[in-house]
Structure formats: C-alpha cells, structure tokens
Structure 1
Amino acid sequence: MTVSRNQISLLHVAKAKLGLTDPEYRTVLVHLAGVTTSKELDTTGFEAVLGFFQYMGFAPLSARGANYGTRRGMASFAQIELIRTLWHEYTGGQAGEEELTKWLERCWKISSMRFLKAETAPKVITALKAMKSRAA
C-alpha cells in the first residue's frame, strides 16, 4: 500500500527540519526503503524512514493541550493550539502551560484557556505575535 500525501509531506518537513540536502534525502530513501522517491514508498518503508529521521532528532509536532471540543462563543481548538504554540516560541520552551495561564489571568482576566471567548482569542493571538516579534 502506498503512503498518503500527508505522510509524504511529513517526510519533507522532517528533511527540512534536519537540514538534509536532496542527495542525502534520496540516499536515505534508497538505503532504508529501496525507493528513489517518496511517492514510491509503502507503509513499511515510510515507517523505516520516519523512524530514522526521529532517531536523527526529528520530532513531529502534536497537540500539547486538552481539546475542549466545539463550543459556541468560545475559542476553537485551533486557536487554543496556536496560542500554546506562540507562547512556546515566545518563551523558547522555558515557560509552560501554568505560566501561560498566569499571563492570561494577569493580562486578559481569563482563569483558564477553556474560558477563552471566540472574540478574545484573535486579540490574544495578535498580542503574542507582537511579543514574539519584539523579542526577536
């Protein structure tokens, strides 16, 4: 069975994150999966290549927080995850969810991410983007 577009995209993201050149990437494909392009990969080959990339230090992003579901008038899961990601990038990974909650409480009077309203979420995102750009 061939791999999906998303799986191929994941391999290309890993290649970029690891800083591999195209010849190095193709060498990995040939040696581990016996193919010359990612479009020829099967499931076993994909798992072998991805496993090698993870061994080299690639870690796919995954959701780090709770999904509160779809609630009318409240921030979406995507907005909450973007806020978490921006916070992580702004702090360099040094401050976690607890510090984010303290910042939200202090600046936005929100005691938890689950109480973030849909109309406030874009403002929080914009503020975090501005803080991140000033820090850079």
Structure 2
Amino acid sequence: MSTRNLQLSKIHIAKKDLGLDDETYRSLLARVAGVRSAKDLNPRQIGAVLAEFTRLGWTSGPSKKHGRKAPVAAPDRAKLVGKIEAFLAEAKRSWAYADGMAYRMFKVERVEWLDPDQLRKMVAALTYDARRHGRPES
C-alpha cells in the first residue's frame, strides 16, 4: 500500500474516531485544504488535515497486530525445551522422536529450530500422549 493510501486511510479513521458526519467532514476539508474530497488532497494538504484532526483531539494509535503473541523470553524457551526433554525421558524416547514430531507438526526438521509458540504446541501434544499412555505429566 502506498504512503498516500496509508495517509488517506488515517484521515478516514480519524473522521470515524471523531464521530464526524459527512457534511462536517467535508466542511473541515474545505476549511483546511480547500477541497471537498480526500482524493483531491496533495501530500502537504494531507499533513494539514491530519494536523487539524490532532488539534481536535484525535490521536493515532499504534497499529494492531492481530494474532500475534508477545515474544517469549529465553528462560521460558529453556523451560519448554526442558519439559519436552522430561516427556521424552519418561516415555524412553530419543530426541530423534521429538525431531520427527517437529517435522510432522510444523515441517521444521529440528526441535531447536522451533519458535516458542510451536514449542508450546509440542508440549501440549506430549502432555496428551502421556495422558493417553498413563504416564505422569511433567
């Protein structure tokens, strides 16, 4: 998406956030930039309109990252790998078994290459396996 389109999107988001009806919005565009439609704005006018929205109390919030989880710190990653190791030891299975699981589940060849979310899913799968076979859960 071009910078112009992003800026125009911000203008329309600000219009909605400020609760401006169409007539009020168009009169603001006419007063600030001398146009009746955002498509007619040049880059300088776009900046002026956004500055006016800011003056009116609108703040541009940070972009939302839907579906993303906060990164897991290294100690938590080490705990997850430790849990996987404990499950493997309890079941008398090798790391090759875990690497095979990683490949089947995520198409990643080695457990050590998994991201924290994938490690959590692997721990969940091993927990399920331990329950199913009557082994204690780590």
What TM-score does the superposition give when structure 1 sets the normalisation length?
0.48
Greater relative contact order (Cα < 8 A, sep 6+): 1
Q: Which has the larger radius of gyration?
A: 2
